[in-house]
């Protein structure tokens, strides 16, 4: 490869802060808000685009799955706050309400929600699940409002791309960023890398792993688009009446697209989102990002024509409503943390003293029962004062597919924000942070249920302890072997 030796330059310091969050996705936005609410008055959030949310707004991922188990919602905090705030806005959210979750005795309600993927449990007896579909542009507006409510503590920098950590030895002191103003520096006591691809961590000297091979769910990119003039209710009627034809319809749709693609519901009956999966892609490679953009848009007109013709009852009047402003990024680089999440965390629900969030999973390996995420999984090894919550969490090749989901990103982001605020307040490193204080703020002040914490109703811990984790030991073993056999296919 040809190289170029970049001359040394002197960079202006643009700003200084206590907590710098790089990346304003579900993890980063949560981190900034949580740090401010935990008392930090000097927070900066830096985002490469002009809005917050990442995948959940710009990527048009419009569904947060599986927040509850039986009748309890295990992921609340900022995650539930999104929905409380969006609820009064017409057509902004859709899903079984909190007071109905766990219900298994209302066949009409169960039948109604069974038409919406993820709103009814798969195991028997069927129960209503807290799973929420939302309007991404409404969430975008709400995320801004949340930041503006904390304008005394949080400064927002849009259109700034964090490019490199400033390291003194193994201690992070800030980040270099690029913008239309050129290359500048933000100095910080604590840096939270929420770029989703470990952009900051992987240049800090900390270990990281690349994407696993192309078989994993995380190795699928997407460019989501939406159609208007459709009717999800009519599509449901049609597919229930014609299950065989629906199979052929779905296969035909994927064939026209050239990759797996599926129409899915949104909070408005007449708008559907077209989720898609471009396999064996790495969203941190220029080539793969470009191909996903161009290849998806190239198929949209034919795909729409197919929908109209193959199922005119539901899609006859459909039209192209909009295209997500940004690429759908499921995963690339993962950090090597003090702890790595593995299949065993899911199969046996390991207990962690430094637990910072419950992840209420969509993983059949344990009947979707909640598992504990430890602080160490967002703490990169060998470097100081960097945290890395979100979809690049420290996890093995298989476990990452089960824990890149939005609830985990919001939960770990919120915890990282609180931890950074506590570390600044007490003058410790992120590694030596008073984890009990972090847990007490999360559970006691920020509505995050945590196991074995005095602020959380004991019934949450009990229902997990009563669950027969480990009954899937054989499956776990197989998955563990699979994780070992998958090769990371690229090194930086």
The count of chain residues that interact with ligand FAD, using the rule CB under 6 A, is 37
Q: Of 380, 390, 411, 449, which one interacts with ligand FAD (CB under 6 A)?
A: 390
Segment 29 to 48, residues that bind ligand FAD, using CB under 6 A? 46-48
Query: Between β-strands 63-64 and 132-134, what pairing exists: parallel, antiparallel or unpaired?
Result: antiparallel
Using rule CB under 6 A, residue 119 touches ligand FAD: no
Least distance from C-beta 312 to ligand FAD, angstroms? 27
Q: Is 283 within 8 Å of 289 (Cβ atoms)?
A: yes
Q: Which of 7, 25, 10 is nearest to 412 (CA)?
A: 25
Using rule CB under 6 A, residue 139 touches ligand FAD: no
Least distance from C-beta 432 to ligand FAD, angstroms? 25
Q: Of 68, 138, 153, 195, which one interacts with ligand FAD (CB under 6 A)?
A: 195
Query: Between β-strands 68-69 and 72-73, what pairing exists: parallel, antiparallel or unpaired?
Result: antiparallel
Using rule CB under 6 A, residue 49 touches ligand FAD: yes
Nearer to ligand FAD, 23 or 337 (CB): 23
Using rule CB under 6 A, residue 405 touches ligand FAD: yes
DSSP for 26-54 reads HHHHHHHHHHHHTT-S-EEEE-SSSSSBG
Nearer to ligand FAD, 28 or 374 (CB): 28
Using rule CB under 6 A, residue 265 touches ligand FAD: no
C-alpha pair distances (Å), 109 with each of 87, 90, 330, 355, 432 = 20, 21, 32, 35, 49
- The residue number with the shortest CB distance to ligand FAD is 25
Q: Is 172 within 8 Å of 206 (Cβ atoms)?
A: no
Measured CA to CA, the distance from residue 129 to residue 126 in angstroms comes to 9
Nearer to ligand FAD, 290 or 485 (CB): 290
Using rule CB under 6 A, residue 59 touches ligand FAD: yes
Considering only the stretches 32-40, 51-59, 106-114, 239-247, report the one whose residues sit in contact with ligand FAD under the rule CB under 6 A: 51-59
Least distance from C-beta 471 to ligand FAD, angstroms? 25
Using rule CB under 6 A, residue 56 touches ligand FAD: yes
Q: Is 155 within 8 Å of 43 (Cβ atoms)?
A: yes
Considering only the stretches 62-70, 83-91, 311-319, 442-450, report the one whose residues sit in contact with ligand FAD under the rule CB under 6 A: 62-70
Using rule CB under 6 A, residue 406 touches ligand FAD: yes
Joined together, the tokens standing for residue 75 give 């992921």
Nearer to ligand FAD, 35 or 308 (CB): 35
- DSSP summary character for residue 380: B
Measured CA to CA, the distance from residue 490 to residue 416 in angstroms comes to 28
Least distance from C-beta 59 to ligand FAD, angstroms? 5
Show the CA angle centred on residue 353, arms to residues 348 and 354, nearest 5°. Answer: 105
Measured CA to CA, the distance from residue 223 to residue 283 in angstroms comes to 11
Least distance from C-beta 117 to ligand FAD, angstroms? 9
Using rule CB under 6 A, residue 199 touches ligand FAD: yes
Segment 215 to 254, residues that bind ligand FAD, using CB under 6 A? 222, 224
130: alpha, beta or left, given left = phi > 0 and alpha = psi -120 to 50? Answer: beta
Nearer to ligand FAD, 66 or 376 (CB): 66
Nearer to ligand FAD, 70 or 161 (CB): 161
C-alpha pair distances (Å), 126 with each of 75, 106, 118, 285, 483 = 20, 10, 11, 42, 31
Q: Of 45, 147, 186, 194, which one interacts with ligand FAD (CB under 6 A)?
A: 194
Q: Of 21, 34, 45, 61, which one interacts with ligand FAD (CB under 6 A)?
A: 61
What angle do helix axes 26-37 and 77-86 make, rounded to 10 degrees? 100
Instruction: Using the CB atoms, write b or e for 201-240: b if 16+ within 10 Å.
Output: bbbbebebbbbbeeebebbbbbbbbbbeebbbebbbebbe
Joined together, the tokens standing for residue 300 give 């949209």
Nearer to ligand FAD, 27 or 307 (CB): 27
Least distance from C-beta 58 to ligand FAD, angstroms? 7
Considering only the stretches 86-94, 164-172, 302-310, 403-411, report the one whose residues sit in contact with ligand FAD under the rule CB under 6 A: 403-411
Segment 270 to 299, residues that bind ligand FAD, using CB under 6 A? 275
Say which residue the tokens 């997990």 belong to: 464
Count of C-beta atoms within a 10 Å radius of residue 176: 18
Joined together, the tokens standing for residue 472 give 């899937």
Measured CA to CA, the distance from residue 221 to residue 227 in angstroms comes to 20
Nearer to ligand FAD, 79 or 342 (CB): 79
Using rule CB under 6 A, residue 391 touches ligand FAD: yes
Using rule CB under 6 A, residue 54 touches ligand FAD: yes
Do you find a cis peptide bond into 265, omega within 30 degrees of 0?
no
Using rule CB under 6 A, residue 380 touches ligand FAD: no
From the number of C-beta atoms within 10 Å of its C-beta (0-12, 13-18, 19+), residue 336 rates as middle
Q: Is 296 within 8 Å of 324 (Cβ atoms)?
A: no
The residue ranges that bind ligand FAD (CB under 6 A) are: 22-28, 46-49, 54-56, 59, 61, 63-65, 161-162, 194-196, 199, 222, 224, 275, 328-330, 390-391, 404-406, 409
């Amino acid at each position: 490869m040809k190289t170029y030796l970049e001359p040394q330059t002197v960079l202006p310091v643009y700003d200084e802060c206590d907590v710098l969050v790089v990346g304003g996705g579900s993890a980063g936005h949560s981190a900034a808000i949580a740090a401010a609410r935990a008392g930090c008055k000097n927070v900066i959030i830096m985002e490469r685009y002009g809005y917050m949310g990442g995948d959940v707004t710009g990527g048009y991922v419009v569904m947060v799955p599986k927040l509850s188990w039986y009748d309890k919602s295990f992921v609340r905090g900022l995650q539930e706050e999104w929905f409380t705030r969006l609820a009064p806005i017409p057509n902004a959210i859709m899903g079984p309400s909190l007071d109905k979750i766990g219900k298994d005795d209302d066949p009409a309600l169960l039948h109604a929600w069974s038409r919406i993927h993820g709103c009814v449990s798969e195991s028997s007896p069927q129960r209503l699940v807290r799973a929420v579909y939302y309007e991404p542009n409404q969430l975008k507006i709400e995320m801004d409002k949340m930041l503006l409510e904390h304008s005394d503590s949080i400064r927002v920098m849009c259109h700034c791309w964090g490019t490199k950590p400033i390291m003194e030895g193994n201690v992070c002191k800030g980040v270099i960023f690029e913008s239309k103003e050129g290359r500048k520096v933000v100095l910080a006591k604590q840096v939270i890398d929420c770029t989703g691809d470990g952009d900051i961590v992987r240049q800090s000297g900390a270990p990281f792993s690349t994407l696993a091979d192309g078989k994993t769910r995380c190795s699928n990119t997407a460019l989501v688009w939406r159609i208007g003039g459709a009717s999800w209710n009519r599509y449901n009627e049609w597919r229930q009446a014609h299950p065989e034809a629906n199979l052929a319809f779905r296969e035909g749709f994927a064939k026209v697209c050239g990759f797996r693609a599926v129409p899915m519901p949104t909070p408005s009956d007449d708008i559907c989102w077209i989720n898609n999966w471009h396999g064996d892609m790495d969203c941190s490679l220029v080539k793969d990002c470009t191909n996903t953009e161009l290849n998806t848009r190239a198929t949209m007109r034919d795909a729409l024509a197919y929908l109209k013709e193959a199922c005119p009852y539901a899609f006859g009047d459909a039209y192209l409503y909009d295209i997500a402003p940004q690429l759908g990024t499921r995963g690339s680089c993962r950090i090597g943390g003090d702890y790595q999440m593995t299949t065993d965390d899911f199969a046996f629900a390991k207990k962690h003293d430094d637990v910072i969030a419950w992840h209420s999973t969509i993983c059949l390996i344990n009947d979707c029962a909640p598992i504990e995420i430890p602080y160490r999984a967002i703490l990169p090894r060998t470097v100081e004062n960097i945290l890395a919550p979100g979809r690049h969490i420290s996890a093995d090749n298989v476990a990452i597919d089960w824990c890149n989901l939005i609830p985990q990103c919001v939960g770990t982001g919120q915890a990282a924000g609180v931890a950074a605020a506590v570390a600044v307040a007490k003058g410790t490193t992120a590694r030596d942070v008073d984890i009990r204080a972090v847990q007490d703020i999360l559970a006691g002040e920020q509505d995050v249920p945590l196991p074995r914490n005095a602020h959380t109703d004991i019934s949450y811990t009990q229902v997990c302890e009563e669950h027969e984790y480990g009954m899937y030991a054989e499956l776990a073993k197989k998955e563990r072997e699979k994780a070992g056999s998958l090769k990371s296919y690229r090194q930086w």
